Chain A
């Protein structure tokens, strides 16, 4: 009696159901299905809502996280579990994992929020100076005023200086900087500009597999064609231009590939691209007429020896005018990652390079509809790109805090790799950068069969079981994409070292138990 559409969601259990996108017929059906009284049926139903929205999936906050929240509630209500707390290792949320905010950043934000404090002598002079400068750039000297839609002008200047310094002097024009509501906002905005055409002329966007699911979600919502290129797990998740070419040529048969997205350092895979690789990618983008999107939000999160972050902008300009005056590119950064981990403020920026001036005008218009990015996030970004300098009073503390965070992360990256690689059935590439490990897990055939019986993808089955038995919340590899027949999970390395050791040990025990149970 329930029409099929009734279960057409990916339920809390994480089971796969097929979405029906057949609107018009089902629309009538659903109205009659409600006891045959059409009037009572909801106006807005699963059958007649936006079909593109239905196709959106975002595993990082998907069914497994919903179950984690339920379990937390059950624990609070006194339900007995084999664990006392849920550890959410599903997301790169540094402060939630106990990382302390950088003192200087928060002092300036407090001063901006309540300028009365500028009279308070417990605040260092450099913090006051920064706050004053930010406030002077705000309408009515208040962070409660709207800013320019592109972002506060002096902050865009500071961002441009930061980029120039980072890239060894390559100029950056503040007019090419757009502040954003986290990096996600800017990424979706650029993708939105690029989507056009119908049928086989629809815009295709190349994204890595595994990928950060913001990309697949945005492409689903924009109804763009996702073109998957696979990273090479056997070579530490490196990117191979041959694979890019394969994916591109295959896609040209059914869509119009226009964009190539790169995440470096990688999420969820943690690789750091070599300079050579970036050059190859740029050459490929130019040859194939692709707009480059470089997601560089983990640019300060590089841990492995011999690895170094190279910005796409810098490499592009070092390749000479043949490239630097032609290749269209947008690169993205954020306040949420690196050493500051200020996710809640939703700060970020993008730099656009070689964008057609008419398109840029359209971009500026488009962002104006949402008025402006949150001003506290803009202020925070200003501090990130313009931190205390060696001769300023907050410098020593700032450096101490920053170094401590990054050193601990480097240590945890190594620890994670080492421990996982001692577990039979788990293999783990080095976490060269970013904040995650994406180990491969072998699942016994019996477990795979059991999962299928329950209508779950096998790694979801695995992660769900881990959550129920150990209270550890991970994201199954299927949420990021993986080669057929391989299974993974993503785990953040952010928990404090002692807790991380515990998490790793619990996963190890679980994996051994799981393997035994299903073999």
Chain B
């Protein structure tokens, strides 16, 4: 089966179609071998009824969508699959050098023990079961939020479809939130689209931008290292990925000359149309300076690139002297020359920050300066999927419109929020400090987001053994760490890295005491690994 390349299948199929059409195809088609393996339901195929042929699947690895095959998503890749297996083995009583698997591969706050924000969950319970509105144990502000959300749902139920762009009142709340965040820069609720997590919004925007073939095919600039949603989406959409490298030596900063280099090279073989920025950075944790953002905007304006600003970690900034600046705000502060022309989409989510509500798949995007006709197309496109999950929309509403001073839930909300964020700041520092004590590991400060992306030195012997096994050296390293310590990390190769360098991504989310243990285990493993292969 496998000997059959997709190309051959295509040629064979052409031949058959021509017969039916009663016309001869170009000569090249007649050069193909007999139709042993065509899959088009030809009566001829029945000749091999008792052979392989009729057993063959309609859908095989050779005949499936080739762009899907190219998709890779390391955050839930082979290493995570092995982690799940190990968990099963442990639960079946198998002996391992560890008692539990620690999944530090993904930014999944609640799974790491972070508690949900009480107010959010109260309102969601009220929305789910409105009988509870009669229950006096719920605070009044939670009830009034729930009431307001339910009133904007069809039939006052979260079980109704919402408008495809999202519930009106929620979009209005998002717009007001953005205005407050951006010091009064105005925001039109019509520019807000609620989404199924930020990923959904990002893929939708990329989809709109696709066009052309060959050298005219849309190219999209993404950082290396990147969050692999981007590379996966580009592979699936058949877009050209244009890599620009972040500067590890300068705390993963973004450098305009590097953007220019990447763009100029790419222009030779594709049509670069979009520039994606993740700020604060995933997996690299840097927080962009205001000046850097201005430079990027100027670059996008000059080079006519559509800007996509992934700002899902906007509340996750820990380092002294760092501050989150939204692309929207900076764009508008640069004056009408920019704010009237640069096309921008920015993305936010309920999954990160202090709430960490990943399971609800809530999010929004704001689009700026989008052509009206294109916007109509966007609205049409999202309507096919009917609407984002309504509980996620409700949650988004609470995130952008949390308890206010004077409301009964305010104090508790602030207490919970502050506790989560200050613990994260502490863990960001701890991670950097501990990892930097290990010889062969060097780690930039985790200025923001939820991950550390340290560089690791892998001995030559280990690299050779990995290559022998057909594995990336950092995959080899992470796999070995998983087997020996139960710690599940994601190899740097899943995010991209400069050739010859190796990294891993680790989330800083585990509770402090557990994180401490984890870091020590990583340290010991690295030392042992280095010794073993030197």
Contact = CB atoms under 8 A, between A and B. Distances in A.
B153 to A, nearest CB: 7
A248 B232 CA distance: 34
Contact of A144 (B66, B161, B358): B358
Interface string B81-109: 00010000000000000000000001011
Contact of A345 (B197, B343, B389): B389
Interface string A246-258: 0011001110111
Contacts of B200: 370
A369 B73 contact: yes
Given A184-B385, A377-B389, A145 B57 contact: no
A149 B106 CA distance: 13
Given A51-B211, A289-B58, A368-B76, A342 B159 contact: yes
Contact of A374 (B14, B84, B210, B359): B359
A257 B20 CA distance: 14
B12 to A, nearest CB: 9
B45 A198 contact: no
Interface string B112-139: 1110100001101110110010010100
Contacts of A214: 384
A152 to B, nearest CB: 10
Given A50-B207, A144-B356, A344 B157 contact: yes
A85 B385 CA distance: 26
B197 A194 contact: no
A359 B129 contact: no
Q: Number of contact residues on B: which range applies? A: 35 or more
Given A289-B41, A291-B58, A343 B391 contact: no
Contacts of B135: 122
A449 interface: no
A296 interface: no
Interface in B170-222: 196-197, 199-200, 207-212, 216
B158 interface: yes
Interface string A97-131: 11111000011011101100100101000000000
Contact of B208 (A6, A53, A110): A53
B435 interface: no
Contact of A218 (B113, B155, B371, B384): B384
A435 to B, nearest CB: 13
B383 A61 contact: yes
Interface stretch (B372-380, B420-428, B462-470): B372-380
B39 interface: yes
Interface stretch (A36-44, A161-169, A397-405): A36-44
B57 A44 contact: no
Contacts of B361: 181, 371-375
B159 A50 contact: no
B357 interface: yes
Contact of A369 (B13, B161, B233): B233
Interface string B368-401: 0111011011001101111111111000000000
A44 B386 contact: no
A408 interface: no
B68 interface: yes
Nearest to A115: B121
Contacts of B236: 192, 366, 369
A440 B207 CA distance: 37
A290 B42 CA distance: 12
Nearest to B117: A144
Given A196-B6, A365-B71, A369-B229, A49 B387 contact: no
Given A58-B383, A95-B160, A375-B359, A142 B389 contact: no
Contacts of B377: 9, 46, 49, 53-54
A386 interface: no
Contacts of A340: 159
Contacts of A365: 71-73, 77
Given A48-B211, A50-B210, A362-B61, 4 more contacts: A46-B371, A110-B125, A291-B58, A368-B76
15 contacts: A9-B376, A42-B343, A61-B386, A91-B161, A95-B159, A109-B128, A140-B114, A145-B358, A194-B64, A196-B63, A252-B16, A258-B39, A287-B41, A344-B387, A359-B64
